[in-house]
Amino acid sequence: MAVSMYQISVPIFIRHLTGLTIVIGRAQSLYKEKNLDETTLLTYRFYPDMFSFTRQIQAATDHALACTSLLAGVEPLKHAGDEKSLAELLARIEKTKGFLELVKPEQINGTEDKAVVVKMRDREMNFKGLDLLQNRSLPNFYFHCTTAYDIIRHNGVEIGKRHFMGSP
């Protein structure tokens, strides 16, 4: 049985965004219970040249949106990028998932050889659809999801791999 481009993209993005929702929700509960300032989590980074927790979430959602939009040939959902609370990050994730859920398999399937251009600030990168998904979007998406998970865990929230994988 062949695996489709849709199967290896949109459902994976949704599953791991759901995992982020779960771990952020657990962080929210802990920070509220212990009366902690969630800004410490939002701005936390493992090393000075790494993205903050907030930026990790923004990057994960951006990669899911960009890849899906490029493959489907639709205009991506735009976020303001000004989230300042865990609640706002959760809203960003939910909006992203809502957008992804509207994309139909037939919009993504068959895009393995589709020419796509990723526009950066100062350059453009050319890909075929499968190469974009396998060698840019999924690795970046997983990196940012994992780093966000690790930051939450490092900051004392009791979460495990099952939460990362999207199970409560």
Identify the CATH number of the domain in which residue 90 sits. 1.20.120.450
In a domain, 137, yes or no: yes
- For every residue of 57-104, which 3-state class applies, written as one string? HHHHHHHHHHHHHHHHCCCCCCCCCCCCCHHHHHHHHHHHHHHHHHCC
In a domain, 5, yes or no: no
Q: What is the pLDDT of residues 7-44, one digit of tens each?
A: 999 999 999 999 999 999 999 999 999 999 999 999 99
Q: What is the mean pLDDT of residues 76-81?
A: 93
Check residue 2 and give its pLDDT. 79
Which of these, 81, 48, 83, 66, lies nearest to 10 by C-alpha position?
A: 66
In a domain, 2, yes or no: no
Check residue 1 and give its pLDDT. 64
Q: How many structural domains compose the chain? A: 1
Q: What is the mean pLDDT of residues 89-94?
A: 98
Which of these, 30, 32, 33, 51, lies nearest to 42 by C-alpha position?
A: 51
144, 59 in Cβ contact below 8 A? yes
In a domain, 3, yes or no: no
164, 146 in Cβ contact below 8 A? yes
Which of these, 126, 157, 159, lies nearest to 33 by C-alpha position?
A: 157
Q: What is the pLDDT of residues 113-137, one digit of tens each?
A: 999 999 888 999 999 999 999 999 9
Range of the domain at 24: 10-164
Predicted structure pTM score? 0.95
Distances (CA, A) of 58 to 84, 89, 91, 94, 120: 12, 8, 11, 12, 16
15, 166 in Cβ contact below 8 A? yes
In a domain, 28, yes or no: yes
Q: What is the pLDDT of residues 43-57, one digit of tens each?
A: 999 999 999 999 999
